[in-house]
Amino acid sequence: MGEQLTLQLLVVKFGKKVVGVKLGILGLGTVGTGTVQLLQDTTGRHPLLQEIEIYRVGVRSPDKLRNVELPAGVVTTDLEAIVNDPQVDIVVEVMGGLEPARSLILQAIKNGKHVVTANKAAIARFGNEIFTSANQAGVYVLLEAAVGGGIPVIQPLKQSLSVNRIHTVTGIVNGTTNYILTRMQQEGSNFEDVLADAQRLGYAEADPTADVDGLDAGDKIAILASLAFGGRIHLEDVYCEGIRQVSKTDIAYAEKLGFVIKLLAIAKLHAQDTSKLSVRVHPTLLPKAHPLASINGVYNAILVEGEPIGQVMFFGPGAGAGATASAVTSDILNLVATLKTETASTAKPNPLLACRHQDYCQIAPIAELVTRFYTRFLTKDQSGVIGKLGTCFGNYGVSLESVVQTGFQGELAEIVVVTHDVKEGDFRQALTEIRNLEAIDSIPSLLRVL
Ligand SMILES: NC(=O)c1ccc[n+]([C@@H]2O[C@H](COP(=O)([O-])OP(=O)(O)OC[C@H]3O[C@@H](n4cnc5c(N)ncnc54)[C@H](OP(=O)(O)O)[C@@H]3O)[C@@H](O)[C@H]2O)c1
């Protein structure tokens, strides 16, 4: 491999002559292995791939059995040596986690190396530090695989769609939760049962917190919002609610009312004040005719809406070795092309590749969100309960789209309410009053409706 690659490419990078483009890959797990396999099998793919050398690969356990063969001396446990090696042109961080990934990325940047990463967790938390350093060092940090796995959405937001005024990005960006919700809907099963099965089948982690509590989707929508709206995002401003409280009962009622329930990650210009954004993750009742309603299983999709483009939807595999390898390697290729064409005299950052924003977006608190709600009440079987609910809602300006008494659970009557658009803060105040009504036993579910 090394012989075939040497002397094929002569480029000038920051005034320094580089022969071939040497990769230092940090991590050889799912994404790293897929990337190496793709780079080792270049027939029928872009010819520039042949100019890439897998120079070093960093792992934790060098004796682990792997699905790839690499020449002796390539695999190492010394990841710091990789990011400090003057021979390495591009560092590909596919090890995951926060540390040492963050420090290694920063060190690579400091050493003038371009970086490709799939690490949404590190970018969502340390993006400010990482992109500021990259801009100062005149290098690029590309992250196509960090959101939507194999789906090209980062580069389209940076380039093809960047002339639009984006007003909404709505995504199904977590395959595990979409798989769980799809099976709950198709089989009428409980969350716990499907989660246990998903863990057994390898679709959910042993610790599913990041996925089922919406945190992974939160990292991803922070990244997408940042690109779509041209500002950095404080991760703590992203409202995250997961799918643990979604019950098969609600899925069945939603279905009857013409909805499916999906975990949506949404970044949207604020309805009243377009200087603010609403950035949030929560299970959502989605009308069956909505383009995202038919995205099932582990698939991901991202709907981008803006002016003048209208709606554009990106759909595809959100995870897996091949899918992520496609995204990671496309970033590598972009950098190889850059290294090949840049000369010392023209080496100014390409604004379509670099991170162009430095200020933070202003995020509206969730209480300011204007949305519809679906709520399920369990009430004592008394007359006039629906009237009392209506009065409490009316006191806070909440108007109701539908109220259905759906049946009984034991002694208790079950009432499902869908509101018109309402300010979340007002809706919550009404619920506080409703909770105090003598006729109300409990409010088992509360979900937003798109
Ligand atoms: N899996 C996906 O489908 C997917 C999709 C999109 C994005 N991503 C992102 O891609 C990244 C990698 O994910 P993955 O699924 O490929 O992870 P993975 O299978 O767990 O692989 C991680 C790799 O990094 C190495 N590693 C981790 N910590 C290390 C350390 N401290 N020192 C040395 N080596 C270390 C591991 O070495 P050993 O092999 O020796 O243990 C392993 O090869 C993550 O940021 C993830 O969020 C993954």
Q: What is the per-residue pLDDT for 307?
A: 98
pLDDT in tens, 69-122: 999 999 999 999 999 999 999 999 999 999 999 999 999 999 999 999 999 999
- Beta-strand pair 276-287/259-269: antiparallel
The fraction of the chain above a pLDDT of 70, given in percent, is 95
At 243, which helix (H) or strand (E)? none
- Beta-strand pair 141-142/114-117: parallel
Q: Quote the CA–CA distance of 204 and 207 in Å, as a whole number.
A: 8
Q: Return the best residue to mutate from 36, 65, 75, 94 for the ligand 1 pocket (most ligand atoms within 8 A of CB).
A: 94
The mean pLDDT value of the chain amounts to 93
Q: What is the per-residue pLDDT for 351?
A: 87
Q: What is the per-residue pLDDT for 403?
A: 93
The whole-number average pLDDT for the span 293-305 is 98
- The residue whose C-alpha atom lies closest to atom 29 belonging to ligand 1 is 60
CA-323 nearest atom, ligand 1: 3
Q: Where are the domains of the chain?
A: 2-149+321-341, 154-317, 369-449
- The residue whose C-alpha atom lies closest to atom 25 belonging to ligand 1 is 27
ω into 100 cis (within 30 of 0): yes
Q: What is the per-residue pLDDT for 325?
A: 98
Q: Quote the CA–CA distance of 321 and 308 in Å, as a whole number.
A: 35
Contact 115, 139 (CB under 8 A): yes
Does the domain at 369-449 match CATH 1.10.357.10? Answer given as no
- Ligand 1 contacts CB of residue 283 (under 6 A): no
Does position 57 have pLDDT exceeding 60, yes or no?
Answer: yes
Q: What is the per-residue pLDDT for 414?
A: 95
Out of 13, 113, 220, 262, the active site residue is 220
- Ligand 1 contacts CB of residue 104 (under 6 A): no
Contact 101, 146 (CB under 8 A): no
DSSP 232: B
- Ligand 1 contacts CB of residue 152 (under 6 A): no
- More confident call, 409 vs 244: 244
Q: Quote the CA–CA distance of 113 and 105 in Å, as a whole number.
A: 9
Contact 259, 230 (CB under 8 A): no
DSSP 360: B
> DSSP states of 334-353 as a string?
HHHHHHHH--TTT----TTT
Q: Which residues contact 130 (CB under 8 A, 6 or more apart)?
A: 102, 105, 106, 109, 122, 123, 141
**Structure-token pair, residue 178:** 């979409």
Q: In which band, very low, low, confident or very high, does the pLDDT at 1 lie, cut at 50, 70 and 90?
A: very low
Q: Quote the CA–CA distance of 68 and 66 in Å, as a whole number.
A: 5
Q: Quote the CA–CA distance of 318 and 299 in Å, as a whole number.
A: 6
- In this structure, which topology does domain 154-317 adopt according to CATH? Dihydrodipicolinate Reductase; domain 2 (3.30.360)
Contact 361, 226 (CB under 8 A): yes
The whole-number average pLDDT for the span 330-338 is 96
220 labelled catalytic: yes
Q: In which band, very low, low, confident or very high, does the pLDDT at 345 lie, cut at 50, 70 and 90?
A: low
Q: Which residues contact 333 (CB under 8 A, 6 or more apart)?
A: 46, 48, 49
Q: What is the per-residue pLDDT for 8?
A: 38
The whole-number average pLDDT for the span 427-439 is 96
Q: Quote the CA–CA distance of 17 and 9 in Å, as a whole number.
A: 10
Q: What is the per-residue pLDDT for 346?
A: 59
CA of 95 from ligand 1 middle (Å) equals 4
- The residue whose C-alpha atom lies closest to atom 18 belonging to ligand 1 is 29
CA of 325 from ligand 1 middle (Å) equals 13
Q: Which CATH architecture has domain 2-149+321-341?
A: 3-Layer(aba) Sandwich (3.40)
Q: In which band, very low, low, confident or very high, does the pLDDT at 344 lie, cut at 50, 70 and 90?
A: low
ω into 308 cis (within 30 of 0): yes
At 231, which helix (H) or strand (E)? none
CA of 361 from ligand 1 middle (Å) equals 30
Across-strand partners of 76? 58
Backbone angles phi, psi at 25, to 5 degrees: -100, 125
